Structure 1
């Protein structure tokens, strides 16, 4: 294990202050990208190396299995073994399974694996007709009630003012909640919220068991403390007893799960409850460029200014003012698009430019407010020949090739346990080659490419672990790491653009991020009515912005469908980031190229004008063809008809919608430009490199045949 001085080496002044504050209570206020995980893992390692912490009596708590696995990996890399890094539910379930025979007796009830299935049976028994989506909402409402410590009999009163799922009344939800609890009892089942509730009950009434647990765990570290629920906090208090060996880490500006019962009041009120607490602020942002950090700071500063102007608004804690530690990067891009299809096309083209410029696809993300927005981007990325991974889709370790790869690596480790260092990575490549891995990706797309990406992720993980753990790293350690990651669904990085909701992006980061659909009604979401709900939407956008390292694009649309009425407007939050945004539509549309070119703006952008009348072009379709739609067309109708016939047959052959080949506006632009060479064709807005390679020869041949002699 490293010495205490070696562990502290490389930490900045504030991180070092956090790492050396070993006596609790300690509160670390850590802004996005400020290295909070680094600070708390080094604090644990420093405490162990200094002899202050016993690793076997230290419990680190977080909110996702992935985050817990990441913490364990970092601690191992620092030479620390024995520390328990778990989610609240995992730690509570382990303790409940151990103490159940003593506290209750008999076999422990089985866990409810699917609330919706059980709720379906309850609703049917009450002769209620409820669809599956409504039942999912009901399951979420019951979870909120339980983590907020509201029993069925008190639910209706506690839920006053809450939006009820599927339009039900609080009384109806309370009846279903009661029926759900009764159904669990009849089947000798408990759910995950019950795990915490029952353990709270045992610790409150069984002093001997409480003393045993308090003796086992002397030091507690809680990550993402702004997201704890009243139930989790009650359990934490019982684990601690009358001690103060507690370190909490969080940022109230990143509280985005209030709908699940999470609350930042425990973080913001920490100093009031623990007046002797050491408070450390981490504000040096190592993740994002100064331009991105400035956008994030402005978004929160506008919230603070609003609260100062209107004293009726809730009291919001002063946000952390981040300072970027990275070199200057490109300006944040604001892009207004005519409709959802145009937005997806523009984003896909910009991603193609980034990838062609050397940015790995795995370092690019498209983030949206609702999962229903993903389809247009899936279509556009596929049309551009870009692979993607939908976060929340099939789990990595459930894939056939991954399961086979781990089995083969395990067999190799048994056959040759003496391999170390670089030999490990070489053997991993050899083993996975038998399953189809190669140094270069296949030219094919679809399943073959996805299979290669999965195996490539395993190889990359082996390389990373060997680099981190040095010459003593063994193949057995690689297999053990994979087994642990599979258990906790801590997947390695897979190449491909990430499509994800803003909520699921929490804790992740990419070189380039596209925040899409930033129109009123989506951001903030339409059902956010109260100041507190709207502020949570602001924090959600803040989380999205701070996922980006170098490139950030903020896009919105004027209408949903092609040709629809332009009734949408940009999110109010965007004007907080850049007050001049309101004039974008009239004064500074970008001369952007690409499918669905938006009326976006980058500082210093030029105005696209009509080649016929010279007026500024207002819509993406106008900029695509280079003229006002009211001005006379300059293309030959026969040429356009030929292109449309070709597009229809090409779309049928490829089994894709016609717009995936080329949009109508792009066909008009091609007909007007009459390009004669590939270089001419790629200059046409909407024709990227992928489409030039795929369709260019056919289009140029068609145009050659229709050109006048």
Structure 2
């Protein structure tokens, strides 16, 4: 095979020096010579033979079967780097898809470290993020807004309820409870979208059922019992046909409601992407040309729609790398179709196959137990279907590994206590708390274990747990919002007055509650009367009265922020500066995110409407998660097995391994998507003429549970304990040890039941601890954790740290919420309209003014303005700005090369991320070209541009909503702007050259301040980035008091070092 020729000999297509130094090897079917591999040492030298084969595979489809702990993520990221290094693909021609933001960020970080400086522009996204991006790009083709609003599940239920009588429901609207089935209908529609099933397909299925029912004609001479069975069968088919027909109509109407309202649901982000690729050849061709190489992580977890989308994209080049493990397919409840990976070779018969079997995580006893367990799923595994071996070998086994342990207990309280004691002993022996994980099948199983860890004085954390509204700090804030919405509601006021921060005497509160009950009056009235002589009570009632008044005039977010300040909660938490306080602040920030998101759907954003909406969402199943726990905290991880996917720990306990809990009893949805439509549920009754027993054990559900147990076992590195309790605490019904323990340990069930109980104690003690649980133990941040991790910085973060490290801490780490400000709302709305114009312009059609006005209004929020008239004046001004902007842009005839283009680059091992507002690239006329290509020298590195200044002129611009500066001041701002200097550095990292000019475009005035790029200022910008990164890594967060900065700092009232004069604006 001959080396691939360079893509172009033109000077502007040269690669920067960093990547030119990597040699090109095209003999991908054999292992490269050692001398060559030395040139690719950082990519290939530490790979084993199977990893090497996967990384260096050539063109065409490839299936990589990656067992647990075999370096799956490393293979994907090394393959991305290898394709770039070999010049088989430009970075942006590779698309990597995965399922979680965490996985995407991890892969992006690894690629950034592997790929030479400035070349890490490969899109690595979740399926939904990629679909969302495609929809925004092609919104004009779909007839939707470029500013997409995506509904969550509970919001879909409320939308259905709002349009209940448009849905044409009959069977699913019982008169006593007409909204009873809406959540089930929302789930049915979601599954239909995941399976790419249309309303027409469901309607056709209903027609088939009708025909099938009509064809059932009992034999008049058959026995009465047989005739009755057939009549019942025909009636069931008829009923199911009517249900499916009604669901098809609802599905069709629902999609129409979404389109009319300019809304999407979560499934639409992938479904609409699939539909536009299927129906629009031009879009499909663009996507395939853009993404010539496609890599899919966790392929076993794709649903049918995602699998079909992947196949559509791969139709162009066929360069699809699917990486996954059928033994770790655990998301069937979300629609994951294991058939995608099991059938990969059927769809791609010429696909290469690489099996990774060298495990670098676990010991031999752990892998042996896991292998025994999962083989009970044969023959429905790739190992059997493809005739391959997936036996994992322990490469990191020290040779004297501990066996897998099993303990049996009388009660779950005993089990929880034993786990806590073992963790305590392990910590005392030298391990860190974070080296331990306790895994359970369901969140409810964590309660007793968490209580026992508290009793043992061990810090623990739960990741992604729901229950934001149950956190004490959030409950206090919501109580204030609920009081503002309904001052006569007693429960919110009682919660507020009982809080120690407000110093209301218990005697006064108790008396007021009694008076309210006896006289049938509101607690507000009675507390105001009884507490009139008590200063603190009177002060609280005055604050709440002001809150109620503000709720009439201000948005719900503004009212909530006022209550946050007046309650003193935020000031108290920022003064405390502890891990506990930091977690509470993050939960408060999470609450503000929820309020901001939910309030955008309200016709009028006021507290009474938002509170009612939140209550309705709660009834529909909405339960927002609390803020993520700081990953640097040294604490035991208490997780469900699904949450533990992708993680590993030295010591793992898998608890509550009993029948009915694990494997769990699956409960099919009330409205299941039929298997005939691609669903996983059998909803069509069996013909009694064929089978007497219409019900059958869901073997696939059992296999899924077994795979989940396999995932649990393979999270452990060196020690693994399985445990089971005969009874739940306070329970009387005995429970059997899970069959999975028997299968993993190769012991008969009877042998397991003979294992003696460990650590028995009085059940009364366990009951008492449930009533009076121990207080939680809060973890500390692990020393040195911040210093070890590379940073991801933005201009905002860099600027905040340089101005004041404490401001950075408040803004970036704690994310303390701030009240909306009219200037920010005005600027964001203008930016949205400008982006809408440029998107249409770049797609060939400049939007008319009404479309730009709609874009402006979608981004507009009625918050932060001094008054209603102030808001109206600002909106009128914005409309004039947009009208003038559109006119001037059309007159110029200039179409930008990039608009709102994301970038990232690396400095000193840290990533800097951002987005260019606008990039203009203009080819130079012959008489404009210089004779020589300039050389740029920065920090001792000599770089020759890949886009020579003699061929093109590049200007990077940032839009600003202000415009009062004179020409001289505007130029000075552009010249000194760190933001523009970072943009220039990003361009250099991406193309190998600096842009020629940078500019600030002031929208209000229409003026533009443009300055040439100065390499000396760029060098200073690098030094500033390095200064900020060093300070952040060392944890230096001291305030830098300064009269000017403090006066206009949004956190001046919280900062103990602020020099801001009292009463001055921030």
Range of TM-score over shorter length: 0.5 to 0.7
Give how far 1:222 is off: 0.7
Match of 2:127 among 81, 88, 106: 88
Q: Counterpart in 2 of 1:541? A: 709
Q: Which residue of structure 1 aligns with residue 315 of structure 2? A: 241
Q: Which residue does 1:559 correspond to in 2?
A: 727
Give the Cα–Cα distance (whole angstroms) in 1 for the partners of residues 457 and 414 of structure 2: 17
> 1:384 offset after TM fit, Å?
1.5
Alignment of 1:167-186 (within 5 A): 177=251, 180-186=254-260
Q: Please, which of 46, 68, 74 is the counterpart of residue 110 of structure 2?
A: 74
| 1:149 and 2:196 aligned | yes
**Paired position in structure 2 for 1:615:** none
Q: SS where residue 84 of structure 2 aligns?
A: helix
Alpha-carbon distance in structure 2 between the residues aligned to 1:57 and 1:496: 41
The answer to whether structure 1 residue 107 and structure 2 residue 145 are counterparts is yes
Partner of 2:565: none
Q: What is aligned with 1:279?
A: 353
Alignment of 1:238-637 (within 5 A): 238-304=312-378, 320-326=390-396, 327=398, 328-393=400-465, 447=580, 492-527=631-666, 529-562=697-730, 564-580=731-747, 582-584=749-751, 587-589=754-756, 592=758, 597=759, 620-621=760-761
How far apart are residue 527 of structure 1 and its match?
A: 2.4
Determine the C-alpha separation between the residues in 1 that align with 2:732 and 2:406: 21
- What SS does the aligned partner of 2:727 have? coil
Instruction: Tell me how far 1:210 sits from its aligned partner.
Output: 1.6
Aligned to 1:116: 154
In structure 2, relative to structure 1, the CA distance for the partners of 1:513 and 1:138 (3 Å cut) is farther
Cα distance in 1, alignment partners of residues 178 and 761 from structure 2: 40
Given the superposition, is the C-alpha separation of residues 577 and 393 from structure 1 closer, same or farther in structure 2, using an over 3 Å criterion? closer
Q: Which of 259, 268, 273 is the aligned partner of 1:194?
A: 268
8 Å CA contact retained: 1:453, 1:494: no
CA shift, 1:251, in A, is 0.6
How far does residue 263 in structure 1 lie from its aligned partner after superposition?
1.4
Q: After alignment, is 138-147 or 315-324 more displaced?
A: 315-324
Aligned-pair distance for 1:567? 1.9
Q: Does structure 1 retain, via aligned residues, the 8 Å contact 2:92–2:122?
A: yes
Query: CA, structure 1 residues 585+34, in 2 after alignment: closer, same or farther (shift >3 Å)?
Result: closer
CA contact (8 A) 1:304 1:318 kept: no
Query: How far apart, in 1, do the equivalents of 2:585 and 2:427 lie?
Result: 18
Please tell me whether the aligned partners of residues 293 and 546 of structure 1 are also in contact (alpha carbons under 8 angstroms). yes
Q: Residue 23 and residue 315 in structure 1: after superposition, are their counterparts in 2 closer, same or farther (change >3 A)? A: closer
Q: Which shifted more, 581-590 or 257-266?
A: 581-590
Whether contact under 8 Å (1:395, 1:489) holds in the other structure is no
Q: Return closer, same or farther for 1:132/1:346 CA change in 2, 3 Å cut-off.
A: farther
Match of residue 216 from structure 1: 290
CA distance in 2, matches of 1:62, 1:273: 21
DSSP 3-state at the match of 2:47: coil
Whether contact under 8 Å (1:437, 1:452) holds in the other structure is: no
Work out the CA distance in 2 between the residues paired with 1:381 and 1:158: 53
User: Are the equivalent residues in 2 in contact too, given 1:515–1:553 (CA < 8 A)?
Assistant: yes
Query: Given the superposition, is the C-alpha separation of residues 138 and 356 from structure 1 closer, same or farther in structure 2, using an over 3 Å criterion?
Result: farther
Could you say which residue in structure 2 is the equivalent of 1:26?
Answer: 62
CA distance in 2, matches of 1:105, 1:449: 44
| Partner in structure 1 of residue 508 of structure 2 | none
CA shift at 1:132, angstroms?
11
Shift of 1:506: 1.4
Post-superposition shift, 1:497? 1.6
Q: Aligned partners of 1:306 and 1:217: how far apart in 2? A: 33
Q: Distance in 1 between matches of 2:325 and 2:250?
A: 36
- C-alpha change, 1:543 and 1:316, in structure 2 (3 Å) is farther
Deviations 1:372-400 (A, max 9, x none): 2221122111121112211213799xx9x
Distance 1:90 1:375, change over 3 A: same
Post-superposition shift, 1:181?
Answer: 3.2
- Residue 82 of structure 2 is matched in structure 1 by 46
Distance 2:318 2:438 in 1: 42
> Residues of 1 paired with 2:321 and 2:580: CA distance?
46
Go from structure 1 to structure 2 and tell me whether the alpha carbon gap of 1:56 and 1:122 turns closer, same or farther (over 3 Å shift): closer
Does the Cα contact within 8 Å between 2:329 and 2:704 map onto a contact in 1? yes
Residue 1022 of structure 2 corresponds to: none
SS of 2:355's equivalent in the other structure is strand
Post-superposition Cα deviations, 1:156-186, rounded to whole Å, max 9, x if no partner, equal 88799xxxxxxx9767766764564344234
Structure 2 Cα separation of the partners of residues 515 and 189 of structure 1: 42
Change in CA separation of 1:532 and 1:239 when aligned onto 2, cut-off 3 Å: same
Give distance in 2, aligned partners of 1:540 and 1:497.
21
| Offset of residue 110 of structure 1 | 3.6
* Alpha carbons 1:226, 1:252 under 8 Å: kept: yes
Q: CA RMSD in A?
A: 3.9
Classify the secondary structure of the residue corresponding to 1:533. helix
Q: What secondary structure does 1:338 align onto? A: strand
Equivalent residue of 1:523, what SS?
coil
Question: Quick one: distance in 1 between partners of 2:326 and 2:360?
Answer: 19
Residues 1:531 and 1:275: Cα distance change in structure 2 (over 3 Å): same
CA distance in 2 between counterparts of 1:58 and 1:515 reads 39
Report deviation, 1:492: 3.9
Aligned length: 521
Kept in 2, the 8 Å contact 1:574–1:581? The answer is: no
* Aligned mates of 1:220, 1:560 — CA distance in 2: 49
Do the aligned residues in 2 keep the contact of 1:368 with 1:516 (CA within 8 Å)? yes
SS in 1 for 2:354: strand
Q: Structure 1 530/25 Cα, relative in aligned 2: closer, same or farther at 3 Å? A: same
Q: Distance in 2 between matches of 1:300 and 1:131?
A: 45
- Provide, for residues 238-260 of structure 1, a one-character-per-residue CA deviation record: whole Å limited to 9, x for no partner: 22233211111011111111222
Secondary structure of the residue that 2:77 maps to in structure 1? Answer: helix
Superposed CA offset, 1:357-382 (max 9, x none): 22222222221112222211221111
Q: Compared with structure 1, are the counterparts of its residues 189 and 334 closer, same or farther at alpha carbon in structure 2 (3 Å cutoff)?
A: same
Conservation of the 8 A alpha-carbon contact between 2:658 and 2:735 = yes
Report SS of the residue matched to 1:580. coil
SS of alignment partner, residue 378 of structure 2: helix
Aligned counterparts of 1:185 and 1:535: Cα–Cα separation in 2: 39
CA distance in 2, matches of 1:156, 1:364: 52
User: 1:513 offset after TM fit, Å?
Assistant: 1.5
Deviation of the 1:87 alpha carbon: 0.8
CA distance in 2, matches of 1:490, 1:60: 27
The answer for the alignment partner of 1:606 in structure 2 is none
In structure 2, C-alpha distance between the alignment counterparts of 1:5 and 1:317, rounded to whole Å = 33
Q: CA deviation at 1:449?
A: 8.6
Q: Tell me if the contact between 1:285 and 1:325 (Cα under 8 Å) persists in the aligned partners.
A: yes
In the other structure, the counterpart of 2:137 is: 98
Q: Using the alignment, how far apart are the partners of 1:193 and 1:552 within structure 2? A: 38
Counterparts of 1:568 and 1:583 in 2: how far apart (Å)?
13
